Amino acid sequence: GDSVTQMEGPVTLSEEAFLTINCTYTATGYPSLFWYVQYPGEGLQLLLKATKADDKGSNKGFEATYRKETTSFHLEKGSVQVSDSAVYFCALLPMKTSYDKVIFGPGTSLSVIP
């Protein structure tokens, strides 16, 4: 069945470091791909999304490119801040033939230290 795999955390970085969180997926066809972020004590928020191959989603300095050939959607940011400390979830929505539901990865915890 469809699934999402993320790199295991926790990830600890110094402020202004480069961030990559790996995400790969298994799905038929062309699913939609998402990154959600969960700040401490809050619900998940949609960070960015991509709906077709080679699309790049971007928001708040974060980027991710939909790579069909490698079935990946890695999250990147050039310079992280302490305020980026959160849990990041990769997710996919299967190609829709009838109603279906988003599948979430297990999440990757990021801590950014000053």
Partner 1 sequence: NAGVTQTPKFRILKIGQSMTLQCTQDMNHNYMYWYRQDPGMGLKLIYYSVGAGITDKGEVPNGYNVSRSTTEDFPLRLELAAPSQTSVYFCASSLDTDGYTFGSGTRLTVV
Binding stretches for partner 1 (CB under 8 A)? 32, 34, 36, 41-46, 49, 89, 93, 96, 99-102, 104-107
By beta-carbon proximity to partner 1, the closer residue of 56 and 96 is 96
Residues in the chain: 114
At 64, give phi and psi (nearest 5°): -155, 135
Rounded Cα distance, 37 and 96, in Å: 24
Contact 91, 103 (CB under 8 A): yes
By beta-carbon proximity to partner 1, the closer residue of 10 and 114 is 10
By beta-carbon proximity to partner 1, the closer residue of 60 and 96 is 96
- Least separation, in Å, of the C-beta of 32 and partner 1? 7
- Least separation, in Å, of the C-beta of 107 and partner 1? 5
Alpha-carbon Rg for the chain in angstroms: 14
